[in-house]
Chain A
């Protein structure tokens, strides 16, 4: 198999995927998903995926584009609800609580499971108002002083405060790409979520801004549980503790990041990793 080229290997239908190899469960799971299937209309985008997000760890989701990483990530805070044709099946739990339960309000769920997007998307408001957006909506601050404190500490945690402390009233859209993405991270942590989902958060940034974000992710895991989608193998290796490899809607292999990158079990994983690393 190793004499096949990477594209041949990744597109060939010869390889039958039977379940997932490796460890998908965690001892201390913050979120646990079992037998998840996702459909866009008639088309199935996620096929019987089960995995846990370990508490205070970074879990990386990798795989060729179109394999369903974003789709899976967006199930975790019910962002897929905004797409009318999207249907999610299976058991998805946050701390033993079924997040697709009828009674559960997706608005409250999204305050607990925050999301950072691929392209920085600050609101066309001031830096201050961007960060204060969530706390205001959820009534987290009783007065202006408390709100100020939340804004400042969120910006500090996102490593942006030093750069913007003199211009909190300037529009958020005027910052550089990397700063905008850190602003979006600050905005997300301002509502004190428990889990942060990141969908290729650094793919639109230059290498230096990327390094800053990666360092930040490493610090954030002290407080939050993080799932990150990335197409950069190096990034997954640097920031994550667990890695899940997706292939055409299947979860092919999952395990400790170190093991996945040095000693993958499944040939698809190996092909993907070696292909990218050259």
Chain B
């Protein structure tokens, strides 16, 4: 049986065990009329039995699948000739690959192939078959014996409820561990690939180099085939676009928040807030082609009319559209911060004869400042990590410039560029993407941590 059929069988067995557990518990109680004597409900007995049936078997299957290929490979190599066993790592890998291909091939192909390999392929099929039988057998035995074990413990005072709670708690724990492990795994893999990258390109060259042209690394026959991996232009571009986006998003977002929370009528607020949320729900790719097809040409034409030379893909276009994308983010977080300021403070100020705008400027905003700074930092980290808009609107040229009318490129754009299309792994070019990713990750992490710290500090002040 394949693993997927096996899973279905186990699930079916678990379903059956649920019913069986209920029946057994009723029997233990001494009939349907006596169920009240049990300290737990029959349903809980059933669920517990089902879990005992399913969980150990599924865990076993998972572990088996994880180790299967390694173990089978080792068994195969052991059964082969001494020459094969003495092959080095990569040669052995190639050899086994051939064997695996042959094991799936038709008889015709087998006739033409190296008899040694054909023998190995047959051996492999045999091992696979045995393994499948073994797996199915073990899983079924595990299911049945676990059910038998738990059923044997059923009694009137068996605390199925408590055991059930414990199992559920462990399942939840396992799920959260999966989430954490995945994060750690991603960080680790990015970290290791980056370390590999830094073994071919020195870190200081990457961090402080002023030239970025990874394309050269492809042409191994040319001089300077190592490419230029100075990330400064990318970070400069990212910073430039982020600054433009923030110049757009922060004033507009903050003032929107002030208007909505302090001046707008209840009615207006009930329309405006959902509309802002729609803005937040637009996919970034839509913003991207809005930037590339509408805003960028408009800026270029306007610039030309004013006698300025504007690149057709300008940092300004990408930054402005990204700013619009971030507005709802800034406004809703600032709104929360302003609303969290106690009404007593606002009334205190109004009660002194301050106008509404004086109250906002002198009391509400200073009191909400930490929350607003937190919103700002979170917005920056979104802008830094944003990809789609810049891919479509900011361009690919790694210019080191502070001119918003020029075309620039960002870290995320370059990661996309390095990894799309047919690429060979393990070249500095592809590994550079991981190094850039690591830098990005560290930056946004630092920003997020700072933002959370600021926001938390502010919470303590008023609660």
Question: Interface of A with B (CB < 8 Å)?
Answer: 77, 79, 82, 84, 107-112, 114-115, 117, 119, 121-125, 133-134, 137-138, 184, 187-188, 191
Residue of B with least CB distance to A117: B344
Query: Which one, B342, B351, B358, B461, contacts A79 given CB within 8 A?
Result: B351
Number of interface residues of B (CB under 8 A): 21
Do the beta carbons of A82 and B350 come within 8 Å of each other? yes
Residues of A within 8 A of B461 (CB): 124
A137-B354, A137-B358, A191-B352 given as contacts; is B347 within 8 A of A125 (CB)? no
Do the beta carbons of A117 and B363 come within 8 Å of each other? no
Query: Which one, A109, A124, A134, contacts B366 given CB within 8 A?
Result: A124
Query: Which one, A84, A107, A117, A122, contacts B355 given CB within 8 A?
Result: A107
Residues of A within 8 A of B355 (CB): 107
Do the beta carbons of A117 and B351 come within 8 Å of each other? yes
Instruction: Across the A-B interface, give the 8 residue pairs with the lowest CB-CB distance, nearest first.
Output: A111-B353, A115-B351, A121-B344, A110-B353, A121-B348, A134-B352, A137-B354, A124-B367
B266 at the interface (CB under 8 A from A): yes
A121-B342, A123-B345, A184-B348 given as contacts; is B366 within 8 A of A137 (CB)? no
Do the beta carbons of B350 and A114 come within 8 Å of each other? no
Do the beta carbons of B349 and A138 come within 8 Å of each other? no
Bound Cα distance A125, B367 (Å): 9
Bound Cα distance A94, B363 (Å): 28
| Shortest Cβ gap from B373 to chain A (Å) | 15
Bound Cα distance A82, B347 (Å): 9
B309 at the interface (CB under 8 A from A): no
Do the beta carbons of B345 and A121 come within 8 Å of each other? yes
Q: Which B residues, 41 to 73, have Cβ-Cβ distances below 8 Å to chain A?
A: none
Residues of A within 8 A of B366 (CB): 123-125
Question: Interface of B with A (CB < 8 Å)?
Answer: 265-266, 342, 344-355, 358, 362-363, 366-367, 461
The contact sample of 13 A-B pairs, CB cut-off 8 A, is A77-B351, A112-B353, A121-B348, A123-B348, A123-B349, A123-B367, A124-B366, A133-B349, A134-B352, A134-B353, A137-B353, A187-B348, A191-B352
Bound Cα distance A112, B349 (Å): 14
Among A109, A110, A122, A125: residue with most chain B CB under 10 A:
A110
Residues of B within 8 A of A138 (CB): 353
Do the beta carbons of B353 and A133 come within 8 Å of each other? no
Residues of B within 8 A of A191 (CB): 352-353
Residues of B within 8 A of A188 (CB): 351-352
A117-B344, A125-B366 given as contacts; is B352 within 8 A of A79 (CB)? no
Grouping DSSP codes into helix (H, G, I), strand (E, B) and loop, the B interface class, with mixed when no group exceeds half, is helix
Bound Cα distance A133, B351 (Å): 12
Bound Cα distance A134, B350 (Å): 10
Q: Given known contacts A82-B347, A108-B353, A111-B352, what 14 new A-B pairs fall within 8 Å (CB)?
A: A84-B266, A107-B354, A115-B351, A121-B342, A121-B345, A123-B348, A123-B363, A124-B345, A124-B461, A133-B349, A133-B352, A187-B352, A188-B351, A191-B353
Residues of A within 8 A of B367 (CB): 123-124
Residue of B with least CB distance to A112: B353
Residues of A within 8 A of B346 (CB): 82
| Shortest Cβ gap from A86 to chain B (Å) | 13
Residues of A within 8 A of B363 (CB): 123
Bound Cα distance A137, B352 (Å): 9
Bound Cα distance A172, B355 (Å): 22
Bound Cα distance A117, B343 (Å): 11
Residues of A within 8 A of B348 (CB): 117, 121-123, 184, 187
Bound Cα distance A129, B352 (Å): 13
Query: Which one, B265, B345, B351, B358, contacts A114 given CB within 8 A?
Result: B351
Residue of A with least CB distance to B341: A124
Do the beta carbons of A114 and B352 come within 8 Å of each other? yes
Residues of A within 8 A of B344 (CB): 117, 119, 121
Residue of A with least CB distance to B345: A121
Residues of A within 8 A of B358 (CB): 137
Do the beta carbons of B354 and A117 come within 8 Å of each other? no
Do the beta carbons of A133 and B362 come within 8 Å of each other? yes
| Shortest Cβ gap from A188 to chain B (Å) | 7
Residues of A within 8 A of B265 (CB): 84
Among B265, B347, B354, B363: residue with most chain A CB under 10 A:
B354
A123-B363, A125-B366, A133-B362 given as contacts; is B353 within 8 A of A117 (CB)? no
Bound Cα distance A199, B152 (Å): 71
Residue of A with least CB distance to B369: A124
Residue of B with least CB distance to A116: B351
Residue of B with least CB distance to A134: B352
Residue of B with least CB distance to A85: B266
Residues of B within 8 A of A114 (CB): 351-353
| Shortest Cβ gap from B143 to chain A (Å) | 64
| Shortest Cβ gap from A140 to chain B (Å) | 11
Among A111, A122, A133: residue with most chain B CB under 10 A:
A133
Residues of A within 8 A of B342 (CB): 121
| Shortest Cβ gap from B407 to chain A (Å) | 45
Do the beta carbons of B347 and A117 come within 8 Å of each other? yes
Bound Cα distance A84, B269 (Å): 14
| Shortest Cβ gap from A139 to chain B (Å) | 11
| Shortest Cβ gap from A84 to chain B (Å) | 7
